[in-house]
């Protein structure tokens, strides 16, 4: 008789009372006998977060930053939910491929590319109605070349650098640069923006620089379109940065940007994903037995361990052993030993409280200890890494 994984698990479930209910389907589209990790995306939490951001920004429209696979949530899955949300006016990404993917998936709202592109990419982006960011000294020539290829004005936002020192035209050269830009027949300026250092004492200085340049430019007759600056941090902490539109990313996905204990009290956010898999091994260590590469974990007393088939390539930080947890059933267990590429190990304790096939959850909206911010705080990782490093190869299902 051939034993399929399904029949093996069904037999195992029948044999062990601890497995009761372990193989109940957890999410549509995820096989009930799947061990490998998957990601559940929660549209209602995305909608909840956009409403919270809109409230903090007093109803200003949102440019939803969905870069890096929508912070690990899933670019197209997230964009489709956000597209249907009236609070979201537009999308922004950093990479050309992501801008094109949005269009190829049928996303209709405006898309802004906040990164660099070649002229050839620029043409394809504009043909698909993606708006470009301009900040280089040769912006005028680039725009002229693109407008000619396109046969219509180039839609773009002007990116100013007020101190982040990363992208953007440095503000102190901004005025003379603006004068080089072509007129409305060639260049359709939709907006002008900047990004903060997110250094509490310096952000107000940056907004002052931005506003001063905007004032002077407008006095010289420059067209600037709508102004935007606030990422999630600005949405939470700097009202003066809200301008015409706000431009958050992480908050939409349920991550607090910087000082999360304080930010939790300003506005509740709900994590938009669950990271799950099923337990693949449960074993008892004797006193002195070890677990994981490097023998970092040695049992001080007999104890039960469960192995989860999810590792750092999937997005579990290597530092998860410093204090991250996984929930199995109704209990939460510490990650111990070492996180390897495809596995991590949790300590159950003196009792065998989990079984092969049980669902394990490592990121979860309904358990504060399993929020990306809690994982980040416990492990010394950044909340941005905890979300964005969720592997794009894992299947995403809406729940």
Residues at the contact surface with ligand PLP, assessed by CB under 6 A: 65, 67, 94, 114, 195, 231-233, 247-251, 257
CA angle 91-248-269, nearest 5°?
120
* Contact of 308 with 279, CB cutoff 8 Å: yes
Runs of H (alpha helix) within the chain: 5-15, 43-56, 67-71, 75-83, 96-104, 119-127, 139-150, 174-180, 203-219, 232-237, 260-266, 372-379, 383-388
- Min separation Cβ 232 and ligand PLP, Å: 3
The answer for residues whose C-beta is within 8 angstroms of residue 323's C-beta and 6 or more apart is 334, 378, 379
Shortest separation between residue 94's beta carbon and ligand PLP, angstroms: 6
Mapped onto helix, strand or coil, the DSSP state of residue 210 is helix
In the bound complex, what is the minimum distance in angstroms from residue 241's beta carbon to ligand PLP?
11
Q: Residue 23 or 256: which CB sits closer to ligand PLP?
A: 256
Minimum CB distance to ligand PLP, residue 148 (Å): 29
Nearer to ligand PLP, 77 or 358 (CB): 77
Question: Smallest gap, in angstroms, from Cβ of residue 231 to ligand PLP?
Answer: 3
Phi, psi (rounded to 5 degrees) for 127: -60, -30
The Cα 97–Cα 76 span in angstroms is 12
Closest distance to ligand PLP from the beta carbon of 74 (Å)? 16
Q: Report DSSP letters for 31-65, one per residue.
A: -TT--S-EEEE-HHHHHHHHHHHHHHTTT--EEEE
Collapse the DSSP code of 185 into the 3-class scheme (helix H, G, I; strand E, B; otherwise coil) and give the result: coil
The residue (of 311 and 365) whose beta carbon lies closer to ligand PLP is 365
Q: Say how many C-beta atoms besides its own lie within 10 A of residue 69's C-beta.
A: 22
Helix (H, G, I), strand (E, B), or coil: what is residue 222?
Answer: coil
Look up tokens 């929930």; give the residue.
327
Closer residue to ligand PLP in complex, CB, 136/186: 136
CB of 249 to ligand PLP, least distance (A): 3
Q: Closest CB to ligand PLP among 71 and 304? A: 71
Grouping H, G, I as helix, E, B as strand and the rest as coil, residue 353 is coil
Q: Minimum distance between the CB of residue 82 and ligand PLP, rounded to whole angstroms?
A: 14
Are 177 and 206 within 8 A, CB to CB?
no
| Cβ-based nearer residue to ligand PLP, 79 or 251 | 251
Whichever of 42 and 250 has its CB closer to ligand PLP, that residue is 250
Choose between 16 and 167: whose C-beta lies nearer to ligand PLP: 167
């Amino acid at each position: 008789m051939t034993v399929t994984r399904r029949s093996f698990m069904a037999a195992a479930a029948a044999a062990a009372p601890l497995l009761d209910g372990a193989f109940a389907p957890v999410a549509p589209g995820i096989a009930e006998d799947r061990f490998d990790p998957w990601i559940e995306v929660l549209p209602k939490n995305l909608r909840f977060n956009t409403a919270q951001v809109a409230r903090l920004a007093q109803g200003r429209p949102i440019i939803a930053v969905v870069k890096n696979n929508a912070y690990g949530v899933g670019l197209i899955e997230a964009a489709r939910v956000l597209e249907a949300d009236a609070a979201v006016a537009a999308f922004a990404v950093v990479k050309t491929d992501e801008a094109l993917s949005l269009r190829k998936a049928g996303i209709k709202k405006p898309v802004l590319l906040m990164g660099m592109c070649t002229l050839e990419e620029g043409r394809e982006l504009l043909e698909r109605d993606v708006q470009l960011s301009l900040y280089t000294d040769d912006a005028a020539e680039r725009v002229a070349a693109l407008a000619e290829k396109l046969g219509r004005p180039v839609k773009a936002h002007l990116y100013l650098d007020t101190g982040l020192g990363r992208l953007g035209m440095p503000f102190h050269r901004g005025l003379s640069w603006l004068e080089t830009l072509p007129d409305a027949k060639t260049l359709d300026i939709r907006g002008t923006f900047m990004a903060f250092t997110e250094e509490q004492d310096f952000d107000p200085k940056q907004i002052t620089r931005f506003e001063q340049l905007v004032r002077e430019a407008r006095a010289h007759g420059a067209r600037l379109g709508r102004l935007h600056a606030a990422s999630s941090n600005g949405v939470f902490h700097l009202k003066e940065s809200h301008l015409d539109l706000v431009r958050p990313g992480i908050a939409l996905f349920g991550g607090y940007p910087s000082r999360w204990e304080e930010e939790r009290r300003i506005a509740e956010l709900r994590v938009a994903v669950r990271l799950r898999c099923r337990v693949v091994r449960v074993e008892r260590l004797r006193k002195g037995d070890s677990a994981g590469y490097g023998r970092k974990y040695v049992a001080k007393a007999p104890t039960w361990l469960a192995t989860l088939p999810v590792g750092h390539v999937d997005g579990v930080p290597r530092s998860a052993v410093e204090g991250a947890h996984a929930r199995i059933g109704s209990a939460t267990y510490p990650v111990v030993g070492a996180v390897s590429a495809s596995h991590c190990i949790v300590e159950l304790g003196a009792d065998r409280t989990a079984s092969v096939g049980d669902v394990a959850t490592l990121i979860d909206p309904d358990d504060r200890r399993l929020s990306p911010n809690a994982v980040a705080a416990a492990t010394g990782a950044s909340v941005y890494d905890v979300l964005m490093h969720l592997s794009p190869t894992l299947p995403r299902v809406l729940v």
